Structures are given as structure tokens and as C-alpha cells.
Amino acid sequence: MRVGSATDGLAPVSVAERSLTAGVHEWVGLGAVAGAAVVADQITKRIVAGTLELGESRHVAGPLDLHHVQNSGIAFGFFPDATTLVIVLTAMVIAWLLVVFARSGARHPVMPVGLGLVVGGSVSNLADRVRLGHVTDFLDLDFWPAFNLADTFIVVGVALLLGAALISDRPPPRHR
């Protein structure tokens, strides 16, 4: 006996297809996470720019300092003189991520959160590059170049997406 409904009574339920396109709930989730990331990043950058002079540093705890620096390049200060190229490439990547999300946003429940963090961090840094020609970095660990919340959101979002992909690609456990 077969439970469920289908037009082809011979097709097993396991091959029933569901749409992977992002629906309203996925878009709202992505928008909420991306919006929160942009707001948090912009607020912290303004606080740092209003509190610390450029180049000024304050020790927080352990290896963490708040250090007001400007970065016209990308990660680790690479390509400092290619701001226009970085702006164009970043905008293209954001557009591509939104297309990917539109096509497969319902694939995994973590996707709106992970991609929302990546998009939000990217949009916030892009806005700074367009408006100011640089991003403000301020989180400084003794062993790592300075970064900001947007960078953190991007890294955490990518880690969430990779983790979800690795977990969902595992074969199901065998029952003994």
C-alpha cells in the first residue's frame, strides 16, 4: 500500500520533487539577516570613526585591540589601488549570490542565514567603498590583520554554508 498522492502511482515517494527556489519565507529570512548585518557593521564603524582617530588603538582584552585603520584594498590589504575593480567585482558577486539564492534558497534551512550574512557583509563593505573609497577596519588581533564586523559576517556565513553542504552530503546512517 502506498501513502500519499501522485499522478503516477508507480513512482516511489522518494523521487517526489519539491521546488528548491526561494519562497517568501526564505527571502524574508535572507533580508532580515542581511539587513541586521549591514546595520550592525555600519553602526560599529561609525562608533570607531567617531571615537578613535585614524591610526589610534585601544587595548580591549587579551590579543584584541580596537585599532582604527582604513583599507582601500580587499582582504589583508591586497589590491589597494584597485578600488573601482573591487567595487565592480563585489557588485557582480552579490548579484550572482542572489541569483543562486533565488534558484536554490529552499535547499537547506541554513541557506537564508548563511547567505544573508555573506550578502549583508558584502553589501556593507561595498557601500563603504562606493561612499568613502575604503572600508574602516578596527578589530585587531595581535596575530591577524585588522578587520571589521562585515568581514566576520562573511567568514561566518561561508562557514555555515560549507558546514550545511558537508552535513547534507553525508550518506544517511545505516540501521543495523
Consecutive 10-residue runs of the chain (176 residues): their mean pLDDT? 55 62 87 98 96 94 94 79 87 93 82 95 96 94 92 97 81 71
User: What is the residue whose three cell numbers read 552579490?
Assistant: 94
Here the contacts of 49-54 (C-beta below 8 Å, separation 24 or greater) are: 49/136, 52/138
Catalytic residue among 41, 128, 137, 140: 137
User: Active-site residue 8, yes or no?
Assistant: no
Q: Which residues pair with 70 in a beta bridge?
A: 136
pTM above 0.85, yes or no: no
Q: Are 97 and 115 in contact (CB under 8 A)?
A: yes
| Cα–Cα distance, 118 to 12 (Å, whole number) | 38
User: Active-site residue 169, yes or no?
Assistant: no
Phi-psi region of 79 (alpha: psi -120 to 50; beta: other; left: phi over 0): left
Catalytic residue among 41, 128, 140, 151: 151
